[in-house]
Structure 1
Amino acid sequence: MTTKVISYKLTLLTFLIFSSSFVFAQTNKQKELETRRQELRREIQRISKLRAEDKSKEQSELSLIEGYNYKISVLDNLIKVTNQQANYLNREINSNQKKITDLRNELKQLKEDYAAMVVKSYKSKNQHSRIMFLLSSSDFKQAYKRLQYIKQYSNHQRQQGETIKTKTLDLQELNKDLLRQQENKKKLIAENRVSQRELESERKSHENLMKSIRKNLSKYTVQIRQKEREAARIDREIDKIIRAVIASSNKKAGKSTSSTTFALTPEEKLLATNFVANKGKLPWPVERGRVSLNYGRVPSPIDRNLIITSNGVRISTEKGAQVMAVFNGEVSEIIKMKNVNPIVMIRHGNYVTLYKNLSKIYVKKGDRVTTKQAIGEVFTNPSDGRTILGFVLSKGAIKENPANWIYRM
């Protein structure tokens, strides 16, 4: 085998491997997009269901605005994902159309070659029989070669016929795939039109409500500031409790009580290491929910000039939602304050998670809990029907953004 032939075969093999890898990556991406699209569609259905249930309730303008903002963001994402799917399908359709054209040309050439072969074979049979062809050999060696030639020619004919059959079936499958892809693309485009109309309707409703709010913006601003002052007071109290828990733990270990981090035993170090190893993969503290307030300094949805400081996230969920521990740990405190719903504090080595605004508690101080274990139930406000869980994550006393830790938050 020459170097040139070896080089050609290696190039062909590399191309085939790259092509198959590319197709595999494309298929995986399509599956990922379809999964995400179905998730978003289910979320739209869930929002619509909750709205239908809440129609009889007197909801505040703030909760209505948050609801509009969230549905608008979900619809935006749904439209983007559907567009991505349509674009991928478009590329697949173009690729299939090229394959069909190439295969048709190949089949045409194969059929022409096969027809010429059949004609040649027929003429050959008319002119002299195979036996005469063999008997006319000058010696045994030539007769053997002629016999091999006849066999090879016959096999080649048969292989050509099989190749034509296989290629014809391939062409039929490609045509079916193409029709399926074109139909899927039509469905995606039709779905996107519906989503676009729904998005326009949501934006219009949002704008109409904002017009009504702007007429008396100062009243809403005062209400928001009062709520945020109360939230800040509660956060300060919680911070004191966290620092007290750290001081108490460190005192038992014979370490400094002024530290903002826990002194760890070997077992606690391992727990903290495992907690960090799961960063970005921790489960949500509720089965179904959405973030209604992000971590950090966030503009108010009603007055963009008013900045809300949040040391955790607020998660809107459904009535009766159970709260789950996001990782293995120990219940450090059950925090109870005047006019505040109970809070569960769980320690994971030198990390702490807090679950605020509970109506029921299933655990007690000192209990060992496991990942996804139910620890309580979220409180539902009877006046507006909202079920909001406050979730805080900190390293010692230093707060961290839960979105960096919880899967797809």
Structure 2
Amino acid sequence: MRLPEQQTGRRPLSDKMRSVLVVFILFLSTLVVFPQSNNIKDLENKRKLALREIESTTLLLNETKKNTSTLLSRINLLTEQISSRQRLISLLNQEVAAISEQQATTEKEIIILTANLKNQQKSYARAVQGIVLRKQSGNKLLFVLSGSSLAESLRRMKYLKDYSEWRDNQIIDIKQKQKTLEEKKAALEKSKAEKNALLGNREKEQTNLQQEEQVHKQEVSDASKKQKELQGILQTKQKQADNLNAQIEKLIAQEVERQEREARRLAEEQARREKLKRERAERAERAERARREAARTSTKPPAKSEEPEEEEVAPKIERESPREREEVAMATPTVTAENFKLSSNFAANKGRLPMPVTGSYSIVGRFGTQQNSRWRVTTNSNGIDIQARSGAQARAVFGGEVSRVVAFPGFNNCIIVRHGGYYSFYGNIQQIFVKQGQKISAGQALGTVYTDSDTGNSQLHFQLWQGTTKLNPEPWLQK
């Protein structure tokens, strides 16, 4: 008694090959889905950041009083808000497109899985039907014993065992495919819901953008009517900024020169001590040679070395205490290592430095030269202006030492912090929490940002320097 050809192992092998092919296709599609998922997650994070920027700007706008002196600040805030809103809408569009692409991939996977599952179920059903029709389950022993030889009977016995395992594996495989198919369908429904939510958000943000553009247009119109007055305000602020820039450049140059001078002094002191140390060793060696020579040629005790000569050469060293000698000897390597470490760590943290203000903020003044055609004024800044909420604190962007605490007209109290070969400047401070020469850590509060009682404005002016070279702070800060 023989089983049909379709039950002798060929169909199980064919189904296995088909399953492997489906798994391979799904694996290839997974390689596409994973980057898509990462891209969607990245877009979602950027969208949340843009939303936080919009929320911060809205808070600052609500706190800024509407009068002539704040018109420019309000226009800058609105410009930032519109820019953030446009970026948000662009990110929403990208996120919708990415989800649509992911949906198309998932739908293809569902089609492949469904077709494969149906074929596998039909194949399994035919195999089970063949067993029922031929009553193979009741004639297994007869099927084995009816072999023409012992070898054939053993082969039939192995076949029955393999066939039974195949049936069990088919059941497991079918159940797994059904589960995977259900998960794919659930993921598709979820992505459709996310896409619909994003489309709703996009429509709402577009409406908000139109409203903000109308407000911005009205603010600009109001400002245009007071152009001469605003030009005067801008020119006054630019003069103050120019004076500040000149003073900061001078202070930074003095600080760099002082550090270089101190480093040279310590290096020269160390070199002098090393030279005296070598000379002492040479004299001691000469005296020892003379003693040995005298001992070999005479029974008389050797003459003492001329120690007074050493006293004359380095009397200062002998008068110093051991503690003083240790401090001077170690001064150069300690300072050099500290500066090098601070500078290296500071440079390595580019793009990760914390914002120099606490709470909500908005950058309303950019680094470098800005051409303002509307007000016919060219402004230049060595740093950025960050608008914060009333009561916000200025905080150190990195660990270091307070180098200077000074006051400048139009910028109130100002603080310079040295980070090895880098310097950070914080202007428009009201209450100061630190003092010159104090060691500070990253994020430590330096003082409260000055708030103008007439306008409600709280702006911190922030600069960043590498030696005497001014840097654009924005790429260094984490937003």
- Fold match (TM-score > 0.5): yes
Q: Assess if the C-alpha contact under 8 Å between 2:64 and 2:70 holds in 1.
A: no
Which residue identity is paired with 1:191? N
- Structure 2 residue aligned with 1:119: 129
In structure 1, the gaps of 5 or more residues are 1-10, 256-263
- Structure 2 residue aligned with 1:350: 421
Q: Counterparts in 2 of 1:44-63, with a 5 A limit?
A: 44-54=54-64, 60-63=70-73
d(CA) in 2 for partners of 1:152, 1:322: 76
**In the alignment, does 2:443 pair up with 1:372?**
yes
- Structure 2 residue aligned with 1:309: 380
d(CA) in 2 for partners of 1:17, 1:102: 12
- Structure 1 residue aligned with 2:149: 139
Q: Assess if the C-alpha contact under 8 Å between 2:53 and 2:362 holds in 1.
A: no
- Structure 2 residue aligned with 1:87: 97
Aligned-residue offset at 1:31: 1.8
Q: Counterparts in 2 of 1:183-262, with a 5 A limit?
A: 183-254=193-264
* Runs of 4+ residues over 4 Å off in structure 1: 11-22, 53-59
- Structure 1 residue aligned with 2:365: 293
Which residue identity is paired with 1:378? V
Deviates more, 1:309-318 or 1:132-141: 132-141
- Structure 1 residue aligned with 2:181: 171
Aligned-residue offset at 1:209: 2.1
d(CA) in 2 for partners of 1:270, 1:54: 42
Taking only aligned residues, the RMSD between alpha carbons, in angstroms, comes to 2.6
Aligned-residue offset at 1:193: 0.3
Q: Assess if the C-alpha contact under 8 Å between 2:89 and 2:206 holds in 1.
A: yes
Q: Assess if the C-alpha contact under 8 Å between 2:60 and 2:388 holds in 1.
A: no
**In the alignment, does 2:92 pair up with 1:78?**
no
* Cα distance change of structure 1 residues 297 and 214 upon mapping to structure 2, 3 Å threshold: same
Deviates more, 1:332-341 or 1:389-398: 332-341
Q: Assess if the C-alpha contact under 8 Å between 2:252 and 2:468 holds in 1.
A: yes
Bigger Cα Rg: 2
Aligned-residue offset at 1:147: 1.2
**In the alignment, does 2:42 pair up with 1:32?**
yes
1:276 to 347, 350, 357: 347
Structure with the bigger percentage of helix? 2
Q: What TM-score results when the alignment is normalised by the length of structure 2?
A: 0.75
Q: Assess if the C-alpha contact under 8 Å between 2:400 and 2:419 holds in 1.
A: yes
Aligned-residue offset at 1:231: 1.5
Deviates more, 1:390-399 or 1:182-191: 390-399
Aligned-residue offset at 1:240: 2.2
Q: What TM-score results when the alignment is normalised by the length of structure 1?
A: 0.88
| Cα offsets for 1:339-377 (capped at 9, x unmatched) | 541001111122211010001111101001111111111
d(CA) in 1 for partners of 2:244, 2:60: 29
Q: Secondary structure at the match of 2:135?
A: helix
Aligned-residue offset at 1:385: 0.8
* Cα distance change of structure 1 residues 118 and 101 upon mapping to structure 2, 3 Å threshold: same
Deviates more, 1:39-48 or 1:90-99: 39-48
Deviates more, 1:21-30 or 1:334-343: 21-30
**In the alignment, does 2:172 pair up with 1:101?**
no
Q: Assess if the C-alpha contact under 8 Å between 1:62 and 1:302 holds in 2.
A: no
Q: Secondary structure at the match of 2:447?
A: strand
d(CA) in 2 for partners of 1:126, 1:331: 91
Q: Assess if the C-alpha contact under 8 Å between 2:417 and 2:425 holds in 1.
A: yes
In structure 2, the gaps of 5 or more residues are 1-20, 266-334
Aligned-residue offset at 1:65: 0.5
Aligned-residue offset at 1:104: 0.9
d(CA) in 2 for partners of 1:360, 1:395: 27
**In the alignment, does 2:55 pair up with 1:64?**
no
- Structure 1 residue aligned with 2:399: 328
- Structure 2 residue aligned with 1:403: 474
